[in-house]
């Protein structure tokens, strides 16, 4: 019996040592293992099928969950013309995600269409409002979102480097920008004490200056987008910048958007966003399934080595060529999804596992 307990003891020490070797140093845990699957309802409506690495047909959500994904990020548009990503569609998908036992992360664009550093357009229904009226609309809309979906995580805006709801809440109108953020934050807190609020900045250059501006806003998590194509190809610069952000602000940190191509080829006739070697970090991370996985393992190492890092979100995990091989309006992200050109799960999905 003594031999048994001795063997068990040393086995446990060995396993602990292996875990210590695999995980970077840091005071945090890999809490948020997320994939943005905002286009999934549109894709599923075309009867597109997804497959595990063993070629078993399951839903994209089931496959991601089996590979360790625990959170699904969904964008929310106010009144999109095609009704995709509106409150009704997002509410239904969020309910399905919650039923599966995963968490919901909402990205509220406060726009009818894409909001990012280059465009933050006021919804058509709000375009003639003054600042006071706009705050009321934001408050009512945010309350409706919280009551309808009850997310675990919510972003106030998407990549709000230059503010949101332009021109009224442009960052140059700092008091009004902060007023909108404060209004939304207060409503979220009044509806849920558990929902975590994220403020999301694209890239890491000038991020410290931005988060100093919003320092008085009540929020929980700093979100950073990182795509080598747009934000620089020196991952060590990302790492050091996140360390500086961590030192300046006592907030959890997530990489709110990241992606990398597994190919520079095409699976339909739609131009892809990632299309040349200039979009890559070479020679370390070629556009191959292994290169995609290795890049994401490096991103995982960066976020977990940060004292306040708690996870990341892969953007466009589901964006395969869902309109057919000759579609000119299909997916511009097909070669950066987490499924290959046969819609089979790529090895990179293993990054969600601890």
pLDDT in tens, 115-172: 999 999 999 999 999 999 999 999 999 999 999 999 999 999 999 999 999 999 999 9
- Those residues with Cβ within 8 angstroms of residue 321's Cβ, 6 or more apart along the chain or in another chain: 267, 268, 270, 327, 330, 331, 334, 341
- The pTM assigned to this predicted structure is 0.91
Q: Does 273 map to a domain? A: yes
Gap between the Cα atoms of 333 and 340, Å rounded: 11
How far from chain centre, in Å, is Cα 246?
A: 19
DSSP H or E run through 197: strand 196-202
Q: Does 9 map to a domain? A: no
Show the domain range for 132.
28-352
* pLDDT for res 28: 53
Gap between the Cα atoms of 226 and 223, Å rounded: 10
Percent of the chain beyond pLDDT 90? Answer: 91
Cis peptide before 167 (omega within 30 of 0): yes
Q: Which contacts qualify for 51-56: CB closer than 8 Å, 24 or more apart?
A: 51/339, 51/342, 51/343, 51/344, 51/345, 52/344, 52/345, 53/344, 53/345, 53/347, 55/344
Using an 8 Å Cβ cutoff, are 282 and 300 in contact?
Answer: no
Gap between the Cα atoms of 92 and 113, Å rounded: 19
Q: Does 139 map to a domain? A: yes
Q: Does 22 map to a domain? A: no
Q: Does 247 map to a domain? A: yes
For residue range 42-81, what is the model confidence (pLDDT) as tens digits? 999 999 999 999 999 999 999 999 999 999 999 999 999 9
Using an 8 Å Cβ cutoff, are 71 and 98 in contact?
Answer: no
* pLDDT for res 3: 37
Q: Decide if pLDDT at 285 tops 90.
A: yes
CATH number at residue 202: 3.20.20.80
Gap between the Cα atoms of 48 and 40, Å rounded: 10
Q: Does 16 map to a domain? A: no
Q: Does 117 map to a domain? A: yes
Q: How many helices (H) and strands (E) does the chain have?
A: 10, 10
Secondary structure class of 223 (helix, strand, coil)? strand
Q: Does 12 map to a domain? A: no
Gap between the Cα atoms of 247 and 253, Å rounded: 11
- What is the number of domains present in the chain? 1
Secondary structure class of 321 (helix, strand, coil)? coil
Using an 8 Å Cβ cutoff, are 349 and 63 in contact?
Answer: yes
Q: Which contacts qualify for 212-216: CB closer than 8 Å, 24 or more apart?
A: 212/248, 213/171, 213/174, 213/178, 214/178, 214/181, 215/249, 216/178, 216/182
For residue range 193-246, what is the model confidence (pLDDT) as tens digits? 999 999 999 999 999 999 999 999 999 999 999 999 999 999 999 999 999 999
Q: Decide if pLDDT at 354 tops 90.
A: no
């Amino acid at each position: 019996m003594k031999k048994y307990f001795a063997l068990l003891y040393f086995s446990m020490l060995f396993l602990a040592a292996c875990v210590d070797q695999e995980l970077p140093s840091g005071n945090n845990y890999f809490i948020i293992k997320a994939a943005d699957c905002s286009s999934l309802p549109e894709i599923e409506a075309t009867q597109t099928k997804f497959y595990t690495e063993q070629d078993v047909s399951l839903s994209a959500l089931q496959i991601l969950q089996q590979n360790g994904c625990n959170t699904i990020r969904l964008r929310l548009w106010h009144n999109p013309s095609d009704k995709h990503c509106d409150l009704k569609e997002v509410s239904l998908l969020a309910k399905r995600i919650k039923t599966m036992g995963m968490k919901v992360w909402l990205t509220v664009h406060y726009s009818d269409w894409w909001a990012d550093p280059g465009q933050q357009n006021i919804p058509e229904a709000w375009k003639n409002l003054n600042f006071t009226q706009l705050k009321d609309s934001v408050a009512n809309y945010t309350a409706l979102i919280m009551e309808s979906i009850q997310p675990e995580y919510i972003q106030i805006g998407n990549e709000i480097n230059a503010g949101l709801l332009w021109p009224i809440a442009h960052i140059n109108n700092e008091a009004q920008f902060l007023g909108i953020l404060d209004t939304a934050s207060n409503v979220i807190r009044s509806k849920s004490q558990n929902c975590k609020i994220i403020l999301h900045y694209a890239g890491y250059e000038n991020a410290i200056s931005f988060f100093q501006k919003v320092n008085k806003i009540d929020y929980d998590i700093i979100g950073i987008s990182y795509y080598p194509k747009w934000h620089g190809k020196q991952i060590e610069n990302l790492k050091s910048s996140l360390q500086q952000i961590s030192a300046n602000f006592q907030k959890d940190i997530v990489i709110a958007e990241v992606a990398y191509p597994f190919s520079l080829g095409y699976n339909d006739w739609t131009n892809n966003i990632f299309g040349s070697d200039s979009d890559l970090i070479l020679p370390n991370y070629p556009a191959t399934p292994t290169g995609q996985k290795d890049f994401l393992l490096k991103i995982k190492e960066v976020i977990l080595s940060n004292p306040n890092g708690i996870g990341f979100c892969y953007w466009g995990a589901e964006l395969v060529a869902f309109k057919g091989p000759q579609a000119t309006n299909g997916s511009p992200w097909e070669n950066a999804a987490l499924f290959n050109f046969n819609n089979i799960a790529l090895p990179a999905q293993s990054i969600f596992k601890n």
